[in-house]
Amino acid sequence: MKIAVALALIVAVGGCAKSSQEAAATASAAAANNPASASDGGAIYLANCSSCHQSDGEGIPGAFPPLARNPAVTGNPVAVIAIVKNGLEGRLVVNGQAYSGIMPAWKNLLTDEQIADVISYIRTSWKNAAAPVSISDVSSLK
C-alpha cells in the first residue's frame, strides 16, 4: 500500500513538472515577442535605481534627477536607452533644476531584457505616459 501511494505521488509530481515546464516555455515564447514587462521593471528599478532616484521617481533635488515628469524619460526612447545602457556624466538640467553627477552604465550589469523592463517601467510610472520599449529597441543600441 505504501509503495502504491509513493508511486502515485511520483507520477503526480512528474505530471506537474511537465505542465510547469510547458507553461514556462509558452510564457518565454510570448515574452520574446512582446514589449518588455513593466511589472518586471518595477523589481529591477527597486533593486538598482531607487536608492538614487527614489521609489517614487522624484529623485533627490540637486543630487539625483527625477524620473517622474522628466522629458528625457518620456521623450525619444533612444535617448533614455542610451543613458541607461551607457551612463551619463556632466551637467544636466531637468525641469529647471541643475544636476551634476554620474549615472553609471548598466550594460555590463543588466541584460538587454532587464534594461527594456526597467525603462518600460519608468516610462509608464509616476504619471509618465510614454510607450514601453522592447528588447529589440535596447539590443539595437550599442
One-character DSSP codes across 10-67 = HHHHHHHHHHHHHHHHHHHHHHHHSPPPHHHHHHHHHHHTHHHH-TTS--BTTTB--S
pLDDT of residue 12: 37
**Residues of the chain whose pLDDT is less than 50?**
1-35
pLDDT of residue 142: 83
pTM score, whole prediction: 0.72
Give 117-131 pLDDT, tens digit per residue.
999 999 999 999 999
Q: Which residues of 38-52 are buried (b: 16+ CB within 10 A; e: fewer)?
A: bebbbebbeebbeee
